[in-house]
Chain A
Amino acid sequence: DVKVTQSSRYLVKRTGEKVFLECVQDMDHENMFWYRQDPGLGLRLIYFSYDVKMKEKGDIPEGYSVSREKKERFSLILESASTNQTSMYLCASSKDWGEQFFGPGTRLTVL
C-alpha cells in the first residue's frame, strides 16, 4: 500500500519567513509533485521531479523552490512567505506514467 506523508497538517507562519514543507513516499516512485489547491482553481502544479536532483517548473513556480536530495523525499521551499501563499499544499508521487498518489495535505496560513 503506497504511503505518502507530509511533515505537517497545519502550519502558521509570518510574512517573510522561510517555510519548508516536506513530503516522503515509501514506494520507490521516480516522480514526485507539489500542487497547490485553492477553491475554484483545482490542483495547480508548482514543481515536479522525475529523479533525484532533477526538477521542473510547473504552472505556478513563482515564489517557490524545491529540493530532492533523496529519492523518497521532496521538499517545497517558500523563500519568503507572503499572504497570497496561504493555501492547501498537496504532495503526490507516481511510478513511471502511472497513478499519482497524494499525501494528506498541509494547510499553510501566512499572517
Chain B
Amino acid sequence: GENVEQHPSTLSVQEGDSAVIKCTYSDSASNYFPWYKQELGKRPQLIIDIRSNVGEKKDQRIAVTLNKTAKHFSLHITETQPEDSAVYFCAARPETSGSRLTFGEGTQLTVNP
C-alpha cells in the first residue's frame, strides 16, 4: 500500500518568513495530494490540494508543488502569520484506492510574532 513520509515534524519560523513542508510518497499510482490544517483543539480542514496532472497550484499565500518523477510534493506558506500556527498533514491517494487517503505524520508549525 501507499506510504507517505512528512518532514520536518516541527517547524518554527518568525512572522513574515516562509515555511516549507515536504512529503514523499511510495505509490507511483497516486494521483491526488491534499493538505489539511489542524488548529489546536479543532478538526482537520482541507486547505489546498493538487492532482497529478498539475505541477503547481497557488491560493493566496499558500502553494503546493508536485514532482511526480521524484514522488514528492511540498507545501509553501509565504508571509507567515501567527494564525498559520497549526499541525499540517499531507496525504496521497492512489488511483486504485477509491476514496481512501494515506496521511503523513504531520508537521507542527509555530509562527513566532
Contact = CB atoms under 8 A, between A and B. Distances in A.
Measured as residues with beta carbon below 8 angstroms from the partner, the interface class of chain A is 20 to 34
Given A48-B100, A97-B98, A99-B34, A42 B106 contact: yes
B6 to A, nearest CB: 7
Interface in A66-101: 90, 94, 96-100
A97 B89 contact: no
Interface residues of B, number: 22
Interface string B21-52: 00000000000101000000011111001000
A105 B43 contact: yes
B73 interface: no
Contacts of B89: 42-43
A90 B105 contact: no
B101 interface: yes
A45 B4 CA distance: 13
Query: What 7 A-B pairs come out closest when comparing CB atoms?
Result: A102-B43, A43-B103, A42-B105, A31-B99, A42-B103, A99-B46, A102-B44
Given A40-B9, A42-B106, A100 B43 contact: no
